[in-house]
Structure 1
Amino acid sequence: MITIKQKHKTNYIFGVAVILLVIAFFGNLFIEGWNWSFFDFLLAAILLFGVAFIINLVVKSKKSFMAKLITCTTILLIFLLIWIELAVGLFGSPFAGS
């Protein structure tokens, strides 16, 4: 069985955040209608790296695999709800993007 060292897990977790920001950057350059400001990129970076940091802490914890899986899934669902709210205003909060 191949095991992944903790350093590599951390690199993968934060690498996903970097890849998503790079995709957003190139989408902003080449896709018409994708108009992110500097503040949008800053907020996306804070959200993505914050989630990556929290997930990295969970992965490093001594919990069981199932507890880690449930915790990470919950964190990702909360992140998605916040992202969707900021993008289209699903719940109609004052900081919604619609």
Structure 2
Amino acid sequence: MHTAPAPQSRPNAALRRLIWAGAIALLVLPAIAMLFTSEVNWGPEDFVVGGVLLLGTAFVLDRVIGSGWSRRTIVLTGGAVVFVLVFVWAELAVGLIGSPWAGS
């Protein structure tokens, strides 16, 4: 009789779920805000760009957490990924460095 191997628990599964849930929640938040105020005015292209940025970041963080690297390397790499996300988001919103894609 052949028995299937026991399923291996994914390391940091709760953290991975939290990252994905956070990315989705941050993407849904402007849609909810648009129902209650005219201060938030996102178009479809804003949601596409936000989705690419947030879900892309969640994907990269998920891969980094599951990489098997040391905790220090995971924290430093994850921090760098989040820093890049925040920088790109701010550049698109207000134009920190004045790129052609700046929102100002």
Give TM-score scaled by structure 2 length.
0.84
- Select the residue among 74, 87, 93 that pairs with 1:87: 93
SS at match of 1:32: coil
Long gaps (5+) in structure 1: none
1:76 aligns with 2:82: yes
Alpha-carbon distance between aligned partners in 2 of 1:26 and 1:20, rounded to the nearest angstrom: 10
**Cα distance, 1:9 vs structure 2:** 3.3
Pairing 1:20–2:26 present: yes
Of Structure 1 and Structure 2, which has the larger fraction of its residues in helix? 1
RMSD of the alignment, in Å?
Answer: 1.8
Decide which moves more: 28-37 or 66-75.
Answer: 28-37
State the partner residue of 1:60: 66
User: Is 1:43 matched with 2:72?
Assistant: no
Among all aligned residue pairs of Structure 1 and Structure 2, give the percentage whose two residues are the same amino acid.
35
Q: TM-score, normalised by structure 1?
A: 0.89
* SS of structure 2 residue aligned to 1:24: helix
Task: Return 72-81 or 5-14, whichever deviates more.
Answer: 5-14
Runs ≥4 in structure 1, deviation > 3 angstroms? Answer: 4-9
One-letter code aligned to 1:29: L
Residues matched between the structures, number: 96
Give the C-alpha shift of residue 8 in structure 1. 3.5
Amino acid at match of 1:51: T
